[in-house]
Chain A
Amino acid sequence: MPREILPNAVLEKLRCIGDADAAKAFDTDRAAAEDFRRKVHKVGLTRAVGALDPKRRDGLMGEGIAMADSAATRVRPDPGRLRVAQRMFGRFTPEITGALLLAALPQSYATMHGSKVLAATGALETDLVRRVRGTAQFLLVVTQPAQDDREAQYLWRPRSDPKSEDSGAHLPWQVCTALRLYHETIRRRVSKATPKETTAAYGGVPLNQEDLLGMMLTFSITVFEVLEQYGISWTAEEQEAYLHLWDVIGAYLGIGTSDVVDEIEPLLAARKYSIEGWAGLRPPSIADTRALLDQIRHRQWAMGETTTAISYTVGPDGPRSLSDGRLLASALLDELACAMPPMLKLLPATMMRTLAPEVVRRRLSLGGNGAVLRALQLLPGRRNIVDRFTSVSTPNPVTGRVLRAMANEVSTRATVRFLGSEGFTIPGHEQWSHGFNRCI
């Protein structure tokens, strides 16, 4: 059993909480919100705002700015740390992209309830390509580099910007707010007639606070875990800066708002827990953040349940829980395989198996790797002495380099494929992206 950072009762409570502010924004103009959802499906998240009717857009943007303002006061973006995080992203772009595509996304598909929501939102196959590209585009926007502290602040400061609104959401705060609103439209769309039926179908409110928190931590901590497998280690400051970036993104996505904290406060007090000094729902230290993700994984991957083979046919959490995740993994693998040359078409699956924990491999029916990769992973690691009583193990340098090169091959080719798709742009290089688009 992993260490309890938040009591399980609190995590259960978080499953019943959605996003009150976004719900209010949705209710202000339902037709505009629904139109926005359709536009996201049609032209993508970043261009959906620009594609809206100006009247509707103004109303939605007003609500969006209010939500973003509230987020900015809760977790104040620190320009210095944001720039460190952006620099790290720039330096390790293929590695981080690979970690997200080959480890974080599969891990999120392996969750008990999250994949059901993804599956319930429509045509999985065609939608998945859009989703994967949308995720990649979202990451490029939120991690776009700033020249100095002033620009870093500018990127995250909510304000009305008619010029930007016409061309779409290309600033981090805009794209986060657009995604937050999109999440609310999904909540409304997949919810059943009664809350009881919804809870039975998704284990709580769709896209609830626990699912969002789990997703945010997966996207940040999994990157560290994968880089460690390559033998790349970041300093504590760099890790904290990267986590801070995700704290800010999380706040703009409505994770751990003051309403949420108010709702869980009595439960925390009753168990003598406190989240004073936390960044939203994330504990302040890196070790505790990792432990919290482990706790959520343990719950979401049903690791406490029986893990006999039958659980991989039917699923301890219902017959559909595994099949949705497996289908999503399959569609992701298809998309990645399409980006590879014929000789390397099996490489994405190989890397996904290598980077995924055993429970994820089983839940997603990914299989095991062959003798060569298995042997490579068994090569003895290096032990680094930290101080008199502490040592840290790092993987064998050969293993790390080989894995890194293989994963980079996949992520680079996938990125080129994404760049070739219509509407995919690199912030600050819009013209170049469109030109690349046409070349491909």
Chain B
Amino acid sequence: MAANGGGGTIGGPLPAPPKVGCVHLLSDDWIKAVARTPENDLRAHRIALTYHHLGLYLDELLHDDKSVRQTSEKPLHDRSGIVHNANWFNFATWATLTVAQNIGNQQPLQRLNTGPGMLLRRALTPAVLNIKASGGQQVGRALAWGQLVIFNAACNGLLTLTRHIEASIAKPKRKTWPTMKPEDLLVPLQAGAPIPDDQLKAYARYLSPLNDALRYYAEACQASDDETKARLILGANLRITQVEQDFADKAVGVVVDLVPRRLVNGIDWRLAQLAERLRSMPRHMSYVVLENLHSRERTAFDAMWSRFMTDQVLVMALPTETLRVGRDIPPLRRDRPYYPDDLTFERDLSKLKPGPFRDRVAAVAVLVRSLDRTVGDGRGSAARDWRRWDERINWALTLLRTRQHDTSLFWHPYSSRDERRIVAGELPLRSGDPSALDVQPPLDPTIERLVNLAIDNPNFNNDDDLDFDPDDVADKGVDLLQQTGGDHAT
């Protein structure tokens, strides 16, 4: 239990380290092992698995006995009023699993999993895979590189935070904040190879927002009230997302622009061949000349394609919903305000609740407001051009704010057996993609409650405020879990 009584860890013992079997997932060795995994698709699964476990671990650091894992072990009547806060790793798990489908070449895009796209799935899949694999698998490589850089930075950040908390426990009066070094951002892809100085220098600029994020998390550990904690966690999530989207910026551009570039290059090549036949002009020269013509039209074509992709193709698959990035983010619960109360900031910052973290919460409010381009109810959150950093951040910010209390983000993407396979270096049997229904909800006592209520009241959609004896149901749930071999956290 936290010494400050606020459900955080500073002052109390650290939670159990995140492990799969005997492999410690928050260790230098594992981070390097993931970074040096040669197969892109296996690496993507290892990253998603690591994120999932680190998400649960960070949740325990932040909330201690109110964390998702520890709450799930309590009887139902002790759980009321507990609000869970998803951290960056929880969101990143599902984002990684969404992207993972586009790194490998086994599966089509997620949009073909639902709606009218399903009818075209059989016809379109080969074409989509062909495009994805074209140009030396540019899409997969670009996404994999972006994903790897983000993974290094985020995992080393959490490692730094953990070490800082350990040091704070040893010396409680120490007044410092976790600080990352430029070397933490990059892991050499080959053992023993040094990281070039210019690369370190270029990445050093990411340190300021990342250290900011770590400080928010560290302060959230200490915060005594739920609202302040939720806001500080939002600040940390947002700061890391800003950096993450910067890392991924070029990769996203490569992915989105691939089709128009290929199409236009194909036309240029045909024209160059024609010029060679008719005018004896060497085709490679004509090709270079043609590539530099009509730059305005090319940019316009790229932009129109990008808007089409953003609107129709790109999605983010969460455990219980698949969100289209080109559409406004729908409310999580239709019977509640769009943004949770604790993540709705006062318009006048001088009216913020007094407390030790008032200035920091004000900084989060300023950060949120400076990046929010919606009109308050989610309208305006839809991205129009996914290549743009500002559009992605606006969408992501709305996602972070509306889904921070969504406990389904803590669900396991893989079965225990698949987790062991991934750690051992084999691909999982199920891909963990929620849009392909590869993710199963956890089996816990709330399920029985849900079923009973659904029978009594078909309009039921709220699993809170229930009044019945849960112990009997909980026992049944545990029995079921043991029978099925499930070990879900929630």
Contacts and interface: CB of A to CB of B under 8 A. Distances in A.
Interface string B274-303: 000000000000000000000000001001
Contact count band on A: 20 to 34
Contacts of B349: 123, 125
B369 A330 contact: yes
Interface in B379-397: 379-380, 383-385, 388-391, 393-394
Contacts of A125: 347-349
A256 to B, nearest CB: 34
A326 B375 contact: no
A374 B370 contact: no
Contacts of B366: 323, 327
Contacts, number: 94
A52 to B, nearest CB: 27
A371 B207 CA distance: 36
Contact of B393 (A308, A310, A365, A368): A365
B249 A346 contact: no
A333 interface: yes
A326 B397 CA distance: 15
Contacts of A176: none
A349 interface: yes
B350 interface: yes
Q: Secondary structure of the B side of the interface?
A: helix
A337 B88 CA distance: 31
A328 to B, nearest CB: 9
Kindly state the interface size class of chain B when it binds its partner.
Answer: 35 or more
A235 interface: no
A369 interface: yes
Given A319-B208, A327-B366, A370 B375 contact: no
Interface in A361-385: 361-362, 365-371, 374-375, 378
A138 interface: no
A345 B348 CA distance: 21
A366 B369 contact: no
Interface in B203-240: 205-206, 208-209
Given A312-B389, A367-B391, A337 B367 contact: no
Contact of B373 (A312, A362, A367, A370): A367
A327 B369 contact: yes
Contacts of B380: 346, 349
Contact of A362 (B250, B308, B383, B390): B390
A326 B394 contact: no
A126 interface: yes
Contacts of A313: 206, 209, 242-243, 246, 389
Nearest to B375: A345
A346 B384 CA distance: 13
Interface of B: 205-206, 208-209, 242-243, 245-246, 249-250, 300, 303-304, 307-308, 311, 347-350, 366-367, 369-373, 375, 379-380, 383-385, 388-391, 393-394
27 contacts: A123-B348, A126-B348, A308-B249, A309-B246, A310-B206, A312-B389, A313-B243, A313-B246, A314-B205, A314-B209, A323-B367, A327-B366, A333-B373, A337-B375, A346-B379, A349-B373, A365-B389, A366-B373, A367-B384, A367-B385, A367-B391, A368-B391, A370-B307, A371-B304, A371-B307, A371-B384, A378-B300
Given A362-B388, A365-B371, A365-B393, 11 more contacts: A125-B347, A309-B245, A313-B209, A313-B389, A326-B371, A345-B375, A346-B380, A365-B390, A367-B383, A367-B385, A367-B391
